[in-house]
């Protein structure tokens, strides 16, 4: 995937025009989310065993992704204290993963924690996109929430950034092991990526007194965020940027990001129907019913011209969630990331309406905007102001 710096340049060239989320006139292509495929045949079971699947790996089981509290040690490494122009504490958090893997680097989860200088009782977990070279975009977003009075933690997923292992003396690309033609490892990495944030939440609640939690994910982070929101009742806000349902279709649609994975699967004799059965255990559409009572906390953002997560698949996930608010941008996958940043007030408005709604009526007065210093950002502040 191109870098988010390229996306920023692209954003300057694309005017923002909201595209209605109507289904009228949409070309067919994606099948309904949540449809349960037929039971595996003997041939499919044999192939599954060859690929390392255990029988339970193929079950749609909510409990698989729910963290069960257990004692663990959290390490806190302070990085920066508040300043007038960067009014937050910044620290690195490290904790043991909930699901051990064969790669030592992947067995320590970590996050970059932003806490407003005045403290907070609310925190947003930010899950990164696939293939990034750094966390600048995610930390940029964390700073926006810190300015609004909410804490935020950027949480790399399994096999992302420092959790990626080394091959031939070089760290593999962030996220390459999180989603790959190794379907057994992919399933386990998604289990890690949903349980590790829940372990973090348990510490933030018990040790720091946080009482409200949300999740914002981008692309890969949005798909895992949607799964996490579906199974974790403690989350009251979910912002999913560039996520869709029916994961097997996203792999099989021959986009530039999944073409190699598809070819590797075919080389292993894995076909479309196999993939449908083997990816459904970690596809959010099969768990979204668990979030229906919290659907007002959900905001989806997708691109009308996205060939990686087509709009049809975004609408499948939206349907599974009970049709919460969805913003459709007139752009492709990378362009939508840039437009998201330029229109981030739509996200913060949604978050505030859920967590801190303002009273309505003649006596109501708008809440004052948080102060924002004039001039260029200080060291440690990559955001440059209240708005994107």
Predicted confidence at residue 293, as pLDDT, reads 97
pTM of the predicted model, to two decimals? 0.84
Delimit the domains of the chain by residue range: 4-21+39-355
Predicted confidence at residue 38, as pLDDT, reads 60
User: What value does the mean pLDDT take over residues 98-106?
Assistant: 94
Digit-coded pLDDT (tens) for 287-311? 999 999 999 999 999 999 999 999 9
User: What value does the mean pLDDT take over residues 87-106?
Assistant: 96
Give yes or no for residue 147 having a pLDDT over 80. Answer: yes
- Report helix angle 344-355 to 136-147, nearest 10: 50
Of 26-40, 210-224, 241-255, 257-271, the one with minimum mean pLDDT is 26-40
Give all strands of the β-sheet with 151-154 in edge-to-edge order: 75-80, 88-96, 108-116, 151-154, 122-127, 212-218, 235-241, 298-303, 325-329
Question: To the nearest whole number, what is the mean pLDDT of the chain?
Answer: 85
Rounded to 5°, angle at Cα 237 from 362 and 223: 145
Digit-coded pLDDT (tens) for 362-379? 544 444 444 433 333 333
Give yes or no for residue 1 having a pLDDT over 50. Answer: no
Give yes or no for residue 4 having a pLDDT over 60. Answer: no
Q: Of all residues in the chain, what percent carry a pLDDT higher than 70? A: 82
Most confident range (mean pLDDT) of 49-53, 235-239, 357-361 is 235-239
At 27, the pLDDT band (50, 70, 90 cuts) reads very low
Give yes or no for residue 245 having a pLDDT over 60. Answer: yes
Nearest to 202 by CA among 95, 354, 58: 95
User: What value does the mean pLDDT take over residues 221-245?
Assistant: 98
At 62, the pLDDT band (50, 70, 90 cuts) reads very high
Predicted confidence at residue 40, as pLDDT, reads 67
- DSSP one-letter string for 217-273: EETHHHHHHHHHHHH-TTEEEEEEES--S-HHHHHHT--TTTHHHHHHHHHTT--HH
Give yes or no for residue 361 having a pLDDT over 70. Answer: no
Predicted confidence at residue 172, as pLDDT, reads 93
The domain 4-21+39-355 is placed in CATH, from the list 3.40.50.1820, 3.40.190.10, 3.30.390.10, 3.30.70.20, at 3.40.50.1820
- Produce one character per residue of 94-114: b if its CB has 16 or more CB atoms within 10 Å, e if not: ebebbbebebeebeebbbbbb
Digit-coded pLDDT (tens) for 157-213? 999 999 999 999 999 999 999 999 999 999 999 999 999 999 999 999 999 999 999
For the chain, state the CA radius of gyration. Answer: 20
- Report helix angle 42-50 to 272-279, nearest 10: 70
Phi, then psi, of 170 in degrees rounded to 5: -130, 135
């Amino acid at each position: 995937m191109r870098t988010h710096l390229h996306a920023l340049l692209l954003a300057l060239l694309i005017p923002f025009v909201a595209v209605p989320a109507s289904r009228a006139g949409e070309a067919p292509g994606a099948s309904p989310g949540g449809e349960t495929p037929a039971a595996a045949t003997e041939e499919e079971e044999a192939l599954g065993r060859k690929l390392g699947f255990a029988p339970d790996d193929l079950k749609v089981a909510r409990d698989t992704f729910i963290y069960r509290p257990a004692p663990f040690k959290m390490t806190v490494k302070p990085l920066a204290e508040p300043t007038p122009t960067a009014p937050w504490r910044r620290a690195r958090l490290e904790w043991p993963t909930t699901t051990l893997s064969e790669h030592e680097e992947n067995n320590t989860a970590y996050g970059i924690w932003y806490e407003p200088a005045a403290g907070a009782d609310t925190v947003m977990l930010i899950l990164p996109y696939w293939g990034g070279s750094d966390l600048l975009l995610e930390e940029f977003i964390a700073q926006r929430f810190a300015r609004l009075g909410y804490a935020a933690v950027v949480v790399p997923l399994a096999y992302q950034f420092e959790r990626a292992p080394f091959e031939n003396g070089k760290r593999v690309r962030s996220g390459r092991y999180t989603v790959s033609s190794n379907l057994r490892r992919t399933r386990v990495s998604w289990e890690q990526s949903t349980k590790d944030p829940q372990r973090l939440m348990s510490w933030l609640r018990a040790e720091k007194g946080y009482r409200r939690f949300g999740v914002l994910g981008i692309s890969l982070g949005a798909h895992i965020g949607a799964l996490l929101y579906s199974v974790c009742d403690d989350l009251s806000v979910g912002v999913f940027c560039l996520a869709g349902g029916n994961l097997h279709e996203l792999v099989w649609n021959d986009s530039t990001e999944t073409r190699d994975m598809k070819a590797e699967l075919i080389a292993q004799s894995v076909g479309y129907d196999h993939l449908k059965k083997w990816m459904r255990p970690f596809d959010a559409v099969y768990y979204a019913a668990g979030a229906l009572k919290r659907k007002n906390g959900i905001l989806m953002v997708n691109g009308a011209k996205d060939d990686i997560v087509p709009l049809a698949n975004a609408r499948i996930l939206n349907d599974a969630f009970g049709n919460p608010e969805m913003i459709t941008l007139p752009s492709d996958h990378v362009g939508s990331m840039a437009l998201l940043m330029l229109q981030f007030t739509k996200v913060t408005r949604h978050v505030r309406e859920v967590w801190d709604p303002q009273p309505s009526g003649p006596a109501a007065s708008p809440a004052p905007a948080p102060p924002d210093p004039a001039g260029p950002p200080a060291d440690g502040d990559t955001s440059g102001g209240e708005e994107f």
